[in-house]
Amino acid sequence: MPVSSTTTTTTTDPSSTKPTTTPINTANITSDPCSVYRNFSSNGRNPIPYYSYRGVYDDTLVEWNGWYRLYLQGSSAQIPELHWCSSYMACGGYAALLLDGPHPLPEDGIVTRDIYGFYPDTSDSKQCIKNSRSNPIQVKACPGNYYVYRLVKPTVSLPMPTYCAVVVDTPSYDPCSNYTSLDQSWRGTNETEGSNCDRSTNWNGWYRLLYKGMSTQMPESCVNVSRCGTNVPLWLSGSHPQISDGIVTRGICGNYGSDCCYYRSFPIRVKACPGNYYVYEFVKTSFCTAAYCAGGRLRCPPRKESPVARCEDHHASLFYYYYYYYYYYYRPQ
């Protein structure tokens, strides 16, 4: 375990508005932050819906000093990036503090990142507007796949600002060979009945989307209101990955009124699999009534594209996909 001239652990008392810190000797400020840091127990700082808010943290009350490694429920954690912002989100305080920009690589050394604060408005879901900048922090990626942060006192103009923490682990198995098939026809983008809510679903692991037995995927563009068996249909904000990308994180948008991303739910992880399908690590949505949609644009066969069909949306396109795949690759020469 990395140590300084005085070993320390920083903890937070969830029953108090003022975190408690064991003193540490930080005289040797020239040391590698990956070797000299404080362990910071960030229990209660994971993003949750504000209506489940039980927070008491206010990071303007903390006497920050030096570098910190975050832990959440005993697991190594990190400050989430901006795509983690969701409607009605809190992280144990009121204003949720997120990292602007990607985490660095080990070869990047120490980098500076802006911090933005987002706080919920119970009358409006437009929480994720980047207009409340806090004080910047420094970040370093360390050998062993973790990060350390030089945390500072946030801007006092933000109400009860709190650094968020999430655990982003690597599965010990390949999600492409260990998933649950999710075949619920009401999730189809053309389905108009129902008020289902995925916040009440006990998600566990990875899922492959099907529609009436046929493989499909989440849409990557706006879905009409009151489709997918729910009031707020959720679609993938960003493109699906390639196989070479491995596991990626994507934002989730929900259409309401005239705004295709009026609501934002917690991000999910996605992986492309051999055989032209995807698996998703679904999580409880941050609000109701909202549900993940099934049905989107299919990728055309590699290297060639049909002169007639362009792998259009939804399930009938599967027929054309396989028809033209056979036509181009297996037709008699």
What pLDDT tens digit does each residue of the chain (333 aa) get?
A: 333 333 334 444 333 434 433 333 343 457 899 999 999 998 889 988 776 656 689 999 999 999 999 999 999 999 999 989 888 888 999 899 999 999 999 999 999 999 999 887 655 556 677 668 999 999 999 999 999 999 999 998 888 999 999 998 889 999 999 999 999 999 999 999 899 999 999 999 999 999 999 999 999 999 999 999 999 999 999 999 999 999 999 999 998 888 899 899 999 999 999 999 999 999 999 888 999 999 865 554 444 443 333 344 333 344 434 433 343 344 444
Cβ contacts of 307-316, under 8 Å, gap ≥ 24: 313/189, 313/219, 314/188, 314/189, 314/190, 314/216, 315/188, 315/211, 315/212, 315/214, 315/216
329: tokens are: 């690759």
The dihedral through the CA atoms of 247, 101, 148, 157 has a sign that is negative
Angle (nearest 5°) at CA 58 between 55 and 63 = 140
**pLDDT of 130:** 65
CA distance 275 to 107: 35
Question: Each residue of 287-325: pLDDT tens digit?
Answer: 889 999 998 655 544 444 433 333 443 333 444 344 333
What pLDDT is recorded for position 142? 97
What end-to-end distance do the CA atoms of the chain give, in Å?
65
The structure tokens listed for 156 are 């006092």
pLDDT at 54: 61
> pTM for this one?
0.75
Tokens of 246: 């491995």
With a CB cutoff of 8 Å and minimum separation 6, the contacts of 299 are 240, 276, 311
Element spanning 319, H or E: helix 316-330
**Residue 4, pLDDT score:** 33
| 3 vs 313: CA distance, rounded Å | 55
* Cα–Cα dist 54/90, whole Å: 9
- Per-residue pLDDT, 22: 37
8 A C-beta contact, residue 162 and residue 94: yes
pLDDT at 174: 97
pLDDT single digits (tens) 110-148: 999 999 998 876 555 566 776 689 999 999 999 999 999
Distance CA 83, CA 248 (A): 12
CA distance 228 to 189: 5
Long-range contacts of 25-34 (CB under 8 A, 24+ apart): 26/65, 26/66, 28/4, 29/66, 31/4, 33/67, 33/110, 33/140, 33/142, 33/148, 33/150, 34/2, 34/140, 34/142, 34/143, 34/148
Q: Report cis status (omega within 30 of 0) of the bond before 289.
A: yes
Pair 219, 295: CB distance under 8 Å: yes
